[in-house]
Structure 1
Amino acid sequence: MKTILLAGAAGKMGQAIQQVIAKHDDWQLSAVLLHHPSAQSAFPAETKIFYKLDEIQGDYDVWLDVTRPETVFQNAAWAIEHHIHPIIGTSGLTDDQIQTLQQAALKAKTGGIIAPNFSISAVLMMYFSGLAAKFMSNASIEEIHHPDKVDAPSGTAKMTAAILAQAGAATAKPDDRRLDGQSQSNLVDGIQIISKRQAGYVAYQSVNFANDYETLSIAQNSLDRKSFMSGVQLAIKNADQQTTLLVGLDKMMGLK
């Protein structure tokens, strides 16, 4: 039986993940970490409920984190220290924090994965964009998420920018003329990212390339949080087999 501690279980992603766990006879939602006691009645009677890190007791195979940017680093560090394999689905970690967690994971021999996006199509979008950037070096990103998403740019957008930059791409002429009150522009690794928070969206991203007299756009759209569950399942199946802390679901999909 694979035992899972789900941090952020009361949120929309957490609730969807609970349904996935329940469908697997060999997985168990053994514990949850919550911010507020009000959601206590939503969990099976056998699930332990904790509200603070120092309250947590018991041994767990996997720590699945879908909390908030301001708590994710502390949560992940605690999990690694206690030899619980982390699956980090919360964005907001800085490069320095990721490196610190990776070093801690190596020392503890407790690997896992940081997944900026659990969507299989989003991972493929980033992969194909990395290929295109080798031939079309003028690139930019536009991402749209639901209004409740607190970080901008998104973790997926920042990871995409890193992939584009590694392939030699940059934004030739950053364009601010499209911006309005719901949008912001950031330059990440030389790539312009236009971020929007808009009702009616879950997660959308397009990577836009331009050469002389031609353009290419690679777009991905998650229409429901259920679209993330295939990636969640892949991560749960493989996280406790890792001895290093991977970054990106592509590492578990065999993409190079």
Structure 2
Amino acid sequence: MIKVIVSGFSGSMGQKAVKMVNDSEDMELVAGFNPIVTNLDPQTYDLNKNVKIFNKLSDINIKADVWIDFSIPSAVFDNTKFAIEHGIRPVIGTSGMSEEQTSELKRMADERELGGIIASNFGLSAVLMMKFAQTAAKYFAESEIVEKHHEDKIDAPSGTALNTARLIYEARGKDQVQHSSDDPLHTRGGDYHGTKIHALRLPGFVADEEVIFGGVGETLTISQSTTDRQSFMTGVKLAIHEVIKKNQLVIGLEQII
């Protein structure tokens, strides 16, 4: 059995991760972590009485194989660092870390030959969208990204949009040409090596993204839409089974599908 700790277990995504683990024949939920909870009785959260609940990293004293993280951007780096230092394979779905932070975590895990994954998105449609965009970037010199999320999403742009822009940049091997530099109102959005990223935060959305490529006399739009967060659990489950077999930390679900 794969023993799992879920960080952010009482949040909307954490609850779906808990259900996925409990519904799996080869996984066992051994602990939940969330620093904002005060009641440490697992039955308060409809969990098995043998599940341990923690609200301090320093109190976690239970053995586990995998650390699933759906916490918040300000906490995810320390959470992941804790997991790696304690030999627990991280499966990180929380966005908001810098490239420097993910590089440090990869170095730590690789030195310990510990498998893990940091993924901006566990939705298979989003991951395939990123892979398709990376392929298209080889043939289109210019593109922009529009991402749409619910009003409660903290970080902007999303980790998925940033990762898409990174893959586009890697495929081209150079910055995208710029057509406008005078933008006092910042209407042109964010910028990653020339690729503009426009972030919407509105009620009614869960997680949508489209990448629009433009060429002479033609455009190409690659889009995906998430209507239920449960869809992410397919990717999380796939990732768990993959990191158990790996001896390094990978960045992006696209690296293993």
TM range (shorter): over 0.9
Q: Which of 182, 187, 190 is the aligned partner of 1:186?
A: 190
Alpha carbons 1:138, 1:172 under 8 Å: kept: no
What does residue 196 of structure 1 align with? Answer: 200
Give the AA of the match of 1:20: M
- Structure 2: which 5+ runs fail to align? none
Question: In the alignment, does 2:155 pair up with 1:125?
Answer: no
Structure 1 segment 186-225 matched on structure 2, within 5 A: 186-225=190-229
What is the TM-score of this pair, normalised by structure 2? 0.92
Match of 1:136 in 2: 140
- Amino acid in the other structure paired with 1:66: F
C-alpha separation in 2, matches of 1:56 and 1:13:
21
Secondary structure of residue in 2 paired with 1:159: helix
Match of 1:34? 34
**CA, structure 1 residues 53+172, in 2 after alignment: closer, same or farther (shift >3 Å)?**
same
Spell out structure 1 runs of 4+ moving beyond 2 A: 35-40, 169-177
CA distance in 1, matches of 2:167, 2:4: 31
Is the Cα contact below 8 Å between 2:115 and 2:248 reproduced in 1? yes
SS in 2 for 1:162: helix
- Compute the TM-score of the two structures, normalised by the length of structure 1: 0.92
Note closer, same or farther for the CA distance 1:97–1:134 as it changes in structure 2 (3 Å cut): same
Which residue, 59, 70, 73 being the options, matches 2:63? 59
Describe the SS at the equivalent of 2:256.
Answer: helix
AA in 2 matched with 1:19 = K
State the 1:57 CA deviation: 0.6
Deviation at 1:128, TM superposition (A): 0.5
Q: Provide the C-alpha distance between the structure 1 equivalents of 2:181 and 2:230, rounded to a whole number of angstroms.
A: 34
* Structure 2 residue matching 1:63: 3-state secondary structure: strand
Aligned length: 250
**Counterpart contact for 2:123–2:235, Cα < 8 Å:** yes
Percent same amino acid at aligned positions?
Answer: 39
2:179 is matched with: 173
Runs of 5+ unmatched residues, structure 1:
none
| Mapping of residues 85-100 of structure 1, within 5 Å | 85-100=89-104
Q: Does 1:157 align with 2:161?
A: yes
